[in-house]
């Protein structure tokens, strides 16, 4: 499902114009991004959490040059689904 599909579905279900729904979806995504950049997690009860995870420093190998490189510690955005969401997907997806 794409962002356009989500906008279409929300528009059908609510009767709100697609342009308004698209602006709302874009604003939601921008708000989540800005929060994660500020290291503020976003919690949506019953859906899940957008969180910032810390990746530790590690050593990796460049196979083509046969050398090792050090990847410094860094942070990545992640999504952790709510238990009710996970259970619903487990029982309904075939």
Examine the pLDDT at 93 and tell me if it is beyond 90: no
Q: Give the pair of three-digit tokens for residue 33.
A: 């991004």
Examine the pLDDT at 64 and tell me if it is beyond 70: yes
Provide the pLDDT confidence category of residue 94 given band limits of 50, 70 and 90: low
Whether residue 56 contacts residue 73, with contact meaning beta carbons closer than 8 Å, is answered with: yes
Per-residue pLDDT of 15-57, as tens digits, reads: 999 999 999 999 999 999 999 999 999 999 999 999 999 999 9
CA 42 to chain centre: 10
**Average pLDDT estimate for 57-67:** 92
Q: Give the pair of three-digit tokens for residue 8.
A: 């279409």
Rounded Cα–Cα distance for residues 7 and 23 (Å): 9
CATH of domain 3-92: 4.10.520.10
Rounded Cα–Cα distance for residues 17 and 24 (Å): 11
pLDDT of residue 92: 84
């Amino acid at each position: 499902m794409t962002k356009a599909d989500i906008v279409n579905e929300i528009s059908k279900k609510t009767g709100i114009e697609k342009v308004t729904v698209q602006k709302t979806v874009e604003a939601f995504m921008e708000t989540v991004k800005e929060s994660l950049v500020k290291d503020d997690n976003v919690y949506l009860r019953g859906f899940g959490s957008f969180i910032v995870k810390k990746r530790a420093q590690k050593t990796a190998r460049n196979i083509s040059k046969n050398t090792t490189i050090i990847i410094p510690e860094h942070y990545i955005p992640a999504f952790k689904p709510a238990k009710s969401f996970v259970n619903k997907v487990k029982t309904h997806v075939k």
